[in-house]
Structure 1
Amino acid sequence: METRRRVLIVAYDDAQILDIACPSGALDIANRYGAKPSYSIELGTLGRRAARSSAGIPVGAGQRLEAVTGRLDTLIVVGGIGCETAAADERLLGQVRRLAGYSRRVASVCTGAHVLAAAGLLDHRRVTTHWGWGERLAERHPAVAVDVSPLYIRDGNVYTSAGVTSALDLTLALIEDDHGPTLARAVARELVTHLHRPADQAQISLFLAAPPPEDRLVRDLMGHIAGHLAEDLTPAALAARAGISTRHLTRLFTAHLGTTPARAVRRARTEAAAHLVRSSGLSMVAVARRCGFGSAETLRQAFLDHYGVTGDRMRRMPDTPAPRVAPKQQTPGP
């Protein structure tokens, strides 16, 4: 008998209705396209009462949060203009904390990150939220490393996403994690959305705001790099992900980015680390770990190479220094 992946979406008054519809709709399509195990999608509220969406449309709940027991595959907390009231509701926070303990992974959509942060589930993690709410989140929860550039971020088993429709990108990433890229692409086609919108495109060149590469494979790999900085990003791992040889990978990166895969990874990690140093109180050891550096000393050397200053000095500077200009890479011959 099939064991279904149980997904519980948590709603409250003045939640954004798209934050509910995007993940539930994408998971429903994944089921219709043959996800095995399939997803069991539930919507829960305190007291099982209908939540009033910010559009004024009531959304009926199938589950009373207080009564939910048993293992959950995924707990998703939605956002909306009611997030601050929800984040101040100790009853709701208590249930979110309890349910997170039953869950394989926890996610937030948009300003739902404020609820997770208030529940203490985002401390010492790198997270994102809607760009207009990031400053408030960082001010209220100094132990949370807030980065409003990416579409979504995975830190361990916690996923956070930016505003509203980025919930689709987050959910497609969850589907790909669970069932592979073929099903995720099929769901994206059905939704008439991007097959692979990069998780963290702005972070790829955070301070230079370079345009995304034209080649889709390179663009997809850079999105993967930016969203998985702490994972194995060696040329061999990237080539295996793309289904090409390491030699062809190097040719593509040199042609479209003007650099090698290893240097592109190091640059993405260094720029992400610089943003964390500037925007959070995390130690250099924690920043190094989150951005995929082996040690604080390795991070220090990367800062010196890329910016000409150490991380400690960067933290004290009024502005982030401009990256040093790297020598132009030569295109390999045939």
Structure 2
Amino acid sequence: MVLYTALFLVLNLGSQLIGAQHLQVGFYNNKCKDAELIVKEEVEKAFAKDNGIAPGLLRMHFHDTFVRGCDASILIDSTPGNLAEKDGPPNGITLRGFEVIYNAKARLEAECEGVVSCADILSFAARDSVHITGGMFWEVPAGRRDGRISRASETVDIPPPFGNLSVITQAFRKKGLTQDEMVALLGAHTIGRSHCTSFSNRLYNFSPTNSQDPTLNRFYASQLKQECPQGPGGSIDPNLVVEMNLSPALMDPSYFADVLKCRGLFTSDQTLTTSPQTKNQTEEYAGNGLIWQQDFVAAMIKMSQIEVLTGAPGERRSEIRSNCRRINP
């Protein structure tokens, strides 16, 4: 179910970006022709029960990419001898949607055993999550393989919600993404929800001189305090969540309008108004959702190709996992 009239855009950016990474649109056409359809069906099935699955899958793809690239290492379970990415901060209590990927993988293994990687399933699911919430459709260059390493200690590379403009810009640049692409990608915060603990410092413990972040709209802050009350000793219930904005299941440019009204939920959102360049871009996107969606899709395609594994000669060891939750024997 598409929540508003989606703008369909099939971008041919893949051929410009893949280079030596050996990814290609339609990679499974002759190998497993229903691969993308099966993933789409699983996303739609889960979304019909819980529309929060869409932002969950998009966020999972983002978090996977920022640790060892797009290799589906975020799907691997921890073992007695290793704490995996999915259980490291901030993933441990905030990620959801794993069952969608696992269900799609089970169906694909039954249909085309050993053919479709978990990394490609996650990339397809992220695209489908954007589309089902009213965003643009794009063709996903595929052919990724799955990584065999997953370490919670490496999740420090994920941009933090409390980061200022310099911190988050550097985190994106480290992965080869420009500041302009960063601003476009942050627009994904227009859908979904957040745990109160990800931004509660802005409400109660911002600085020695200000208990509340002065850049936060005071009426919005009052609303957030009602939804995220302090408990004994100033603690915040880690299970409390709030919607990212007034249309949390609609991929629209309202995120940028919120930021301009000082209603950005995270410090890393509101920081977009702290430089002329990022503020101008935020204003452009707030006024023209089509431009934002085009830029968002281009940035998503680029992001999905960071440090990909393709089984090319000389590449570090990779595989197509038979079960996304663990490496092959």
TM-score by length of structure 2 reads: 0.29
Bigger relative contact order (CA 8 A; separation at least 6):
2
Q: Which has the higher strand share?
A: 1
Q: In terms of Rg, which structure is larger?
A: 1
